[in-house]
Amino acid sequence: MRHVLHAGSGTGRSLASLIIASLRHAMLVLAGLCLTAGLALGTAAAHEFKAGTLTIGHPWTRATPPSAKVGGGFMSITNNGTSPDRLVAVECEAAGVAEIHHMATENGVMKMQAVPGGLEIAPGATVKLAPGGYHVMFMELKQPFTQGSSIKGTLVFEKAGRVPVSFKVEAIASKAPDAHHDHGGKMHGGKTQ
């Protein structure tokens, strides 16, 4: 009798074990994500800068080919405070000009432009400057960025003030020179208008 009952609830049990199995799968996926996040944080922790309630994670740039006059700067900016701050400017001795830009795809064409008024960092938010989105545009490079070196720069925030950072120069990505070349042309064209 019991056996039959058990058999009857067996369907339920196999459903339950299915659910448990998928939960386990989800847990594994989550664990994997956490591990990845942990690794990413670990990388950032090794190279980060703090100013007031702001944490600047892993500023980096790409090595540039000898003829290139522009490069992009990337990082994450986290605001642990309760009021917004704003990245209003970037200074870099290795570049004649440094601007805060945004890149977006419009009708399949990548366009970059300066961000008017700078970049707001809302309380509790992390703003990522990354290839394909917000970035620092280094222009009029005085010398090529060589992989493995660091480029000194200063981030200027409305409230946190001037924050010296160093951009680690990482490998040239295959698409970067084309995108930047295109961008450089547009910028200089735009400036003369």
Residues in touch with Cu ion (CB under 5 A):
101, 112, 137, 183
Which is closer to Cu ion, CB of 47 or CB of 186? 186
Which is closer to Cu ion, CB of 142 or CB of 188? 188
Which is closer to Cu ion, CB of 41 or CB of 114? 114
68, 173 Cβ separation under 8 angstroms: no
Cβ 141 to Cu ion shortest distance, Å: 13
Give the C-alpha separation, 96 to 191, whole Å: 15
How many residues in the chain?
A: 193
CA distances 174 to 62, 64, 128, 170, Å, are: 10, 11, 21, 12
Cβ 20 to Cu ion shortest distance, Å: 50
DSSP strand pairing (85-91 vs 95-106): unpaired
Cβ 182 to Cu ion shortest distance, Å: 10
Which is closer to Cu ion, CB of 58 or CB of 101? 101
Cβ 137 to Cu ion shortest distance, Å: 4
Cβ 74 to Cu ion shortest distance, Å: 11
Structure tokens at 100: 């805060």
Structure tokens at 91: 């200074």
Q: Which residues contact 183 (CB under 8 A, 6 or more apart)?
A: 70, 101, 103, 112, 137
Which is closer to Cu ion, CB of 58 or CB of 180? 180
